[in-house]
Structure 1
Amino acid sequence: MPYEINKGADRPPQVRGVVGMDYLILLVKWIISIVVMGGLSAVFVPLPGWMIFVACAVGIYIVYMGLVKRSVNQGAGGYERAQARKKLPGILTVRQDSVYRNLRKR
Structure 2
Amino acid sequence: MFRVNKGVDRPPQVLGIRGMNFLMVLGGAAVGLLAVSTFIMIVTGWSGMICYGTYLVGLIVLYGQLVRISRVHGERGMARTQGRGRQPKLIMVRSSGVYKQLRHEPKK
TM-score (norm 2): 0.74
- Indicate the structure whose relative CO is greater, using CA pairs within 8 Å and at least 6 residues apart: 1
Deviation at 1:76, TM superposition (A): 2.4
Structure 1 residues 28, 93: closer, same or farther in 2, change over 3 A? same
Q: Does 1:78 find its partner at 2:54?
A: no
Identity of aligned residues (%): 22
Aligned residues: 100
Deviation at 1:6, TM superposition (A): 5.1
Tell me, yes or no, if the aligned pair for 1:23 and 1:71 is still in contact at 8 Å. no
Q: Structure 2: which 5+ runs fail to align?
A: none
For 1:93, give the aligned amino acid.
M
Over aligned residues, Cα RMSD in angstroms?
Answer: 2.5
Runs of 4+ in 1 over 3 A off after TM superposition: 4-7, 9-12
TM-score (norm 1): 0.75
2:45 is matched with 46
Report the structure number with the largest CA radius of gyration. Answer: 2
Where do residues 81-96 of structure 1 align in structure 2 (5 Å cutoff)? Answer: 81-96=80-95
